[in-house]
């Protein structure tokens, strides 16, 4: 069975540029819309690039701002100043 890396985010204005950046940078991501939130699933790693989010947001963005929009996740997290990645790979 595939190991699915997953992020669930708020469905709001703060999260929208992040969701767009994820969809642009991670081909093949599956989107499940639920009332109030959106669940993004991937068979590979799910990467959020700071640069991609900033491009859409039009301001600087700190990957730790993820704390304001994340609802749930599945996978191991790797976070630094430039990216936020959830994956099952080692």
63: its two tokens: 């990957």
Least CB distance to another protein at residue 64 (A) = 6
The rounded Cα 36 to chain-centroid distance in angstroms is 16
**Binding of another protein by 67 (CB under 8 A):** yes
Least distance CB 18 / another protein (angstroms): 13
- Phi (first) and psi of residue 68, to 5 degrees: -85, -15
Q: Is 32 helix (H, G, I), strand (E, B) or coil?
A: strand
The span from the CA of 22 to the CA of 31, in Å, is 11
57 in contact with another protein (CB under 8 A): no
**Residue from 13, 27, 28, 36 binding another protein (CB under 8 A):** 36
Decide if residue 4 touches another protein (CB under 8 A).
Answer: yes
**Interaction between residue 54 and another protein (CB under 8 A):** no
| CA–CA separation, 60 and 31 (whole Å) | 26
Residues of the shown chain interacting with another protein in the complex, contacts defined by CB under 8 A: 1-6, 8, 10, 34-37, 39, 64-65, 67-81, 88
């Amino acid at each position: 069975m595939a190991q699915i890396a997953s992020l669930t985010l708020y469905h709001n204005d703060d999260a929208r540029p992040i969701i767009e950046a994820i969809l642009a940078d991670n081909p093949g991501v599956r989107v499940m819309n639920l009332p109030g939130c959106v669940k993004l699933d991937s068979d590979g790693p799910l990467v959020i690039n700071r640069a991609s989010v900033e491009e859409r947001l039009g301001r600087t963005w700190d990957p730790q701002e993820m704390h304001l929009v994340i609802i749930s996740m599945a996978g191991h997290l790797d976070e630094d100043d430039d990216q936020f990645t959830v994956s099952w790979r080692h």
